[in-house]
């Protein structure tokens, strides 16, 4: 009689352990999918950071070229102002002479 009871308890223990292992395997499977998704997310974020860095670099280069253009334009305006001032002086001197 006791042996039947122990066999029943052992059978129940094995069944419960088997269910626990099955649930643990399911948990590991879900965790694996989560890790894979997290890894994919990290790759996407890393790619975004690289693109953002390239965009910032290109923007910096554009600003540098724009600054150079402004510098050249400023020099041109300065030369034009000198030319206009010289022309005014020439016309004033011409008017005084006549």
- pLDDT tens-digit map of 42-94: 999 999 999 999 999 999 999 999 999 999 999 999 999 999 999 999 988 88
Domain assignment present for residue 61? The answer is yes
What is the model's pLDDT at position 1?
Answer: 65
Q: Is 62 a member of any domain?
A: yes
Give the pLDDT score at 96: 78
Residue 3 falls inside a structural domain: yes
| Residues of the domain holding 4 | 1-69
pLDDT mean over 26-36: 96
- Any domain includes 95: no
Name the nearest CA neighbour of 11 among 19, 26, 38, 52.
19
Judge whether 48 lies within some domain: yes
Residue 22 lies inside a defined structural domain of this protein: yes
**pLDDT score of 5 more than 90:** no
In a domain, 77, yes or no: no
Asked if residue 26 belongs to a domain, the reply is yes
0.75 exceeded by pTM? no
Domains identified in the chain, total number: 1
């Amino acid at each position: 009689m006791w042996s039947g009871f122990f066999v029943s308890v052992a059978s129940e223990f094995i069944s419960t352990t088997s269910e626990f292992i099955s649930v643990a395997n399911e948990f590991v499977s879900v965790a694996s999918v989560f890790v894979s998704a997290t890894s994919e997310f990290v790759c996407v974020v890393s790619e975004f950071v690289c693109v953002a860095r390239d965009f910032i670099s290109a923007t910096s280069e554009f600003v540098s070229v724009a600054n150079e253009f402004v510098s050249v334009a400023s020099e041109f305006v300065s030369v034009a102002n000198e030319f206009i001032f010289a022309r005014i002086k020439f016309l004033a001197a011409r008017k005084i002479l006549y």
